Amino acid sequence: MKAVRAAVALVALAIAPSLLAQGSTADEIAKYRAALQDGNPAELWEGRGEALWKQQRGPKNVSLERCDLGLGAGVVKGAYAQLPRYFADADRVMDLETRLVWCMVTLQGYTEADAKKNPFGNGNDRKSDLEALTAYVTSESRGVKMNVPMRHAKEAEAYRVGEKLFYFRGGTHDFACATCHSEEGKRIRLQDLPDLTTAQGAQKAYTTWPAYRVSQGELRTFEWRLYDCFRQQRFPELVFGSDAAIALTMFLARNANGAPFDAPAIKR
């Protein structure tokens, strides 16, 4: 009896440390995020984005204040919670970043190449206007429930394509998004990875982008998140504003429906 009890105790000891280490790491990262939330530098991007939104720019020297993000010309409040969506004027499903480029072209007179030449900042002197504008627009949806529409046939098509892409295995590592993001409790280094196939996982992930990445000193948008996931999987480069990028965004945004949007956030 004594021997059995000792054996049980040993087993318990052997399991406990690894479980404890995992739990406490995630807890500590959560505490770290909470501590940083108060002074989230994403606010600096929001402020710069708001100024850019209202400033008269481009060859036509007009502001973006007449830009229609889906809720009518110039309506920013709550717009991001209903994106991506189908836009009749472009006859295309668009996410926020693509729509911003559209407005910069149609309203401000930029060429498309000019409007999207710098989608992501380099964490240093080269700052991205698109990241700042995205920070501003998304901040105006904080607390608004995700409500991505799927009424138009093209919206349904984008969702289906996005779902296909999510499960599509390929590249040198024979990877898919689903390889890391379809099970509970997976990690990359010390970061817990969300299970994006569950409503809860998709909601938690989608509603916390864009985010200020402390390790990069840069605000990152959801398109950047997808772009970098593709890089990490050794996939071909995900082209900014491409149908593939929008379809994946559509799939994940739609799965996040019902949860209050809570970004720009702060992440490690």
Partner 1 sequence: MADPMKIRATTLGDSTEVKVLMSHEMETGQRKDAQGQTIPAWFIQNVIVTWNGRTVLSAQWGTAVSKNPFLSFKFKGGAKGDRIAISWMDNRGDKRTDETVIA
Q: What is the DSSP letter of 120?
A: S
| Binding of residue 44 to partner 1 (CB under 8 A) | yes
Q: What is the DSSP letter of 220?
A: E
- Packing angle of the helix pair 199-206, 243-255 (nearest 10 deg): 120
Instruction: Tell me which residue of 59, 119, 118, 113 sits closest to 95, measured CA to CA.
Output: 119
CB of 41 to partner 1, least distance (A): 4
What is the rounded CA–CA span in Å between residue 233 and residue 169? 10
| Binding of residue 16 to partner 1 (CB under 8 A) | no
Q: With contacts defined by CB under 8 A, name the span among 11-19, 23-31, 39-47, 82-90 that binds partner 1.
A: 39-47
103 included as an active-site residue:
no
# residues near partner 1 by CB under 8 A: 11
CB of 194 to partner 1, least distance (A): 26
Q: Among 25, 47, 144, 178, which residue interacts with partner 1 (rule: CB under 8 A)? A: 47
Closer Cβ to partner 1, 123 or 149, answer by number: 123
Q: For residue 160, what are the CA distances in angstroms to 9, 97, 227, 249, 255? A: 51, 21, 19, 11, 12
| Binding of residue 171 to partner 1 (CB under 8 A) | no
Q: Is 219 helix (H, G, I), strand (E, B) or coil?
A: strand
What is the rounded CA–CA span in Å between residue 70 and residue 51? 21
Strand order in the sheet with 211-213: 218-220, 211-213, 265-267
| Binding of residue 43 to partner 1 (CB under 8 A) | yes
Amino acid identity for residue 218 in this structure: E
| Binding of residue 34 to partner 1 (CB under 8 A) | no
Closer Cβ to partner 1, 41 or 149, answer by number: 41
Radius of gyration of the chain (CA): 21
Closer Cβ to partner 1, 137 or 176, answer by number: 137
Which x/- pattern, by CB under 8 A, does the window 117-136 give for partner 1?
Answer: -------xx-----------
Q: Among 41, 74, 109, 149, which residue interacts with partner 1 (rule: CB under 8 A)? A: 41
| Binding of residue 215 to partner 1 (CB under 8 A) | no
CB of 45 to partner 1, least distance (A): 9
Q: What is 7-67 written as a DSSP string? A: HHHHHHHHHHHHHHHHHHHHHHHHHHHHHHHTT-THHHHHHHHHHHHHS-BTTTTB-STT-
Task: Looking at residues 179 to 208 of the shown chain, list those that interact with partner 1 (rule: CB under 8 A).
Answer: none
| Binding of residue 39 to partner 1 (CB under 8 A) | yes
Q: With contacts defined by CB under 8 A, name the span among 42-50, 133-141, 155-163, 182-190 that binds partner 1.
A: 42-50
- Beta-carbon neighbour count of residue 112 at 10 Å? 12
The residues that are catalytic are: 229
Residues at the site binding partner 1, with contacts judged by CB under 8 A = 38-41, 43-44, 47-48, 124-125, 217
